[in-house]
Structure 1
Amino acid sequence: MRLINRRPSLGAARFLAIVPFALVLVAYLIGSGVRLAENPSDKLLPAFSSFAAAIDRMALTPDQRTGDILLWVDTAASLTRLGAALAISVAIGLVFGIVIGLLPYFRAGLGAFVAVISMVPPLALLPILFITLGLGETSKIALIVIGVAPCLIRDMALRVGDMPVQQLIKAQTLGASTWQIIIRVVLPQSLPRLIDSLRLQIGPAWLFLIAAEAIASESGLGYRIFLVRRYLAMDVILPYVAWITILAFLMDRILLIIQTRAFPWFAGARAST
């Protein structure tokens, strides 16, 4: 049997999924052990006991100065900014994506503009945003929107443009107006694809958020990472990076669950292809 046709069992698939994580963990343990044997005060690859102490200090013990538990304060600040920015980006991406993908006049007027805007490096605009919008929440949210919304618009426009023309013709034959076609034909088929696009933008959104928090913020996961880097506090930085990764993974899983439950036909069609 050709390798392309061989599929692992459920147990084998789970085992293979764990292997890369186990290898990374083993490599870290070996590297940490070697460095700590040479220099017990080494900070580059701390021992797991150092991680445990740092997690207790950041996630379980109130800060002596503020009385806050820093990890949860930082998490709440970052998720608030990220959630607001993604909500705005989704609204913009959905509306303009459908309009550009479906209506020829808007496609001619906005298609090239959005394509060019999506090529602008968002991080290059960060100083401009801080100058024009200040150092508050608005500039941080705007950076994420600028980085995410154009990509959502382009992807939605392409997906709407790829819809079978026969569906649009049949809807018009039955007397549907443009608004009715958007609401009853285009929108139901676009929403699950919008969720796919949003899942792909979670990583870049976190990147823009951390960059903004690192430069001008008083709270947030990115702020804390760049605050402690001056002390070479890898025992704090690595758990924070792991926590950000877990949050991003959970966001992806939640979106997948929403897509599967709200649009079961989409999951079924994908499984059949």
Structure 2
Amino acid sequence: MTRLINRKPDRASRLLLGLLPFIIIVALYLITSQSRLAINPHDKLLPSFESIYHAIYQMAFVPSRRTGHYLLWNDTLSSLKLLFMGVGISALVGLIVGIINGAIPLFRAPLSPLFTAFSLIPPMAILPILFIVFGLGDLAKVMLIVIGVAPLLVRDMQLKTLSLPQEQLIKAQTLGASSWQIILRVMLPQVLPRLIEAVRLTLGSAWLFLIAAEAIAATSGLGYRIFLVRRYLDMAVILPYVVWITFLAFLMDWILKRISLRAFPWYASLNGSSNT
């Protein structure tokens, strides 16, 4: 008798099972929307798919009368630029400081408590401070992402470095490797795939910080647009924007996953993460 924990779906079944929850959500939305619109044709809470299509067509393919920009694509480029900058800086800081903390006790003693304390600070609580110090421009938004994400990556990379087998480090030292040779040739290749995995796990937080910052002070961006139309209760724009943000986050996660599988296939097989 095959136990439930040992039954694995094939590729087609896995795809179908993955799509099933989304199909159910769309069907429930359609049923609920039609029932509400039947009672009140002007209901804005759950607009019809026709209204959503018309709103998105206007945002994506009709230039704004005020700016001449295609608002959806302009907002997307504005948000992605800030997100890539924030996550990229965070990943670089996390990798460098995390490996150094894990590899060199003299650095770990002062830096580990510092980044642990930073990781416990609610980033949204210091957002007003960032706007005061860095102004209302893009720098404050990027710094919010860095402050919210980088300390977590530092701690993750430090723990990964400390968990490397001591036998490898002893063997490298026996063969005459210096400290920096051990860091670059033994530790770095094993920590890099974990960095990609950690960035994937923090993408949701990075998006959260970006949307929050854009909602408070911005003139473009996905978060800015959502909170701009909120005052008009325009769910025909808000809902597609939320779905679009989710799709972008999913696409970024998928790309990072493919990069990890292609560059470090041994890591996926070792950790059983080829399907996560």
What TM bracket, shorter-length normalisation?
A: over 0.9
Q: Which residue of 2 aligns with 1:260?
A: 261
Residue 86 of structure 1 aligns with an amino acid whose one-letter code is V
Q: Which residue of 1 aligns with 2:165?
A: 164
Superposition deviation, residue 15 in structure 1: 1.6
Q: Which residue of 1 aligns with 2:114?
A: 113
Superposition deviation, residue 263 in structure 1: 1.6
Q: Which residue of 1 aligns with 2:85?
A: 84
Residue 254 of structure 1 aligns with an amino acid whose one-letter code is I
Could you give the per-residue CA deviations for residues 136-188 of structure 1, whole angstroms, max 9, x where no partner exists? 11100000000000000000000000000000000000000001001100111
Residue 82 of structure 2 aligns with an amino acid whose one-letter code is R
Distance in structure 1 (CA, Å) of the matches to 2:15 and 2:49:
26
Could you give the per-residue CA deviations for residues 105-143 of structure 1, whole angstroms, max 9, x where no partner exists? 112111122111101000001000001111011100000
Q: Which residue of 2 aligns with 1:36?
A: 37
Distance in structure 2 (CA, Å) of the matches to 1:62 and 1:254:
30
Residue 60 of structure 1 aligns with an amino acid whose one-letter code is F
Superposition deviation, residue 272 in structure 1: 9.4
Q: Which residue of 1 aligns with 2:195?
A: 194
Q: Which residue of 1 aligns with 2:252?
A: 251
SS at match of 1:231: coil
Bigger Cα displacement from structure 2, 104-113 vs 192-201: 104-113
SS at match of 1:36: helix
Distance in structure 2 (CA, Å) of the matches to 1:10 and 1:196:
23
Residue 112 of structure 1 aligns with an amino acid whose one-letter code is P
Could you give the per-residue CA deviations for residues 233-271 of structure 1, whole angstroms, max 9, x where no partner exists? 000001100110010011001111111112222223234
How many residues align? The count is 273
Matched, 1:226 2:204: no
Q: Which residue of 2 aligns with 1:21?
A: 22
Could you give the per-residue CA deviations for residues 166-224 of structure 1, whole angstroms, max 9, x where no partner exists? 00000000000001001100111111110000000110000000000000000000000
Distance in structure 1 (CA, Å) of the matches to 2:8 and 2:137:
51
Residue 95 of structure 1 aligns with an amino acid whose one-letter code is I
Superposed, which structure 2 residues align to 1:51-62 within 5 Å?
A: 51-62=52-63
SS at match of 1:40: coil
Runs of at least 5 residues in structure 2 that lack an aligned partner in the other structure? none
SS at match of 2:219: coil
> CA RMSD, aligned part only?
1.2
Distance in structure 1 (CA, Å) of the matches to 2:163 and 2:70:
49
Distance in structure 2 (CA, Å) of the matches to 1:269 and 1:5:
19
Q: Which residue of 2 aligns with 1:152?
A: 153
Residue 36 of structure 1 aligns with an amino acid whose one-letter code is L
Superposition deviation, residue 10 in structure 1: 2.3
Residue 208 of structure 1 aligns with an amino acid whose one-letter code is F
Distance in structure 2 (CA, Å) of the matches to 1:29 and 1:204:
30
Distance in structure 2 (CA, Å) of the matches to 1:150 and 1:79:
21
Distance in structure 2 (CA, Å) of the matches to 1:12 and 1:98:
41
Residue 246 of structure 1 aligns with an amino acid whose one-letter code is F
Runs of at least 5 residues in structure 1 that lack an aligned partner in the other structure? none
Distance in structure 2 (CA, Å) of the matches to 1:204 and 1:215:
17
TM-score (normalizing by structure 2):
0.96
Matched, 1:217 2:212: no
Q: Which residue of 1 aligns with 2:75?
A: 74
Bigger Cα displacement from structure 2, 189-198 vs 111-120: 111-120
Distance in structure 2 (CA, Å) of the matches to 1:104 and 1:46:
58
Q: Which residue of 1 aligns with 2:138?
A: 137
Distance in structure 1 (CA, Å) of the matches to 2:26 and 2:165:
48
Distance in structure 2 (CA, Å) of the matches to 1:266 and 1:9:
23
TM-score (normalizing by structure 1):
0.97
Q: Which residue of 2 aligns with 1:127?
A: 128
Q: Which residue of 2 aligns with 1:204?
A: 205
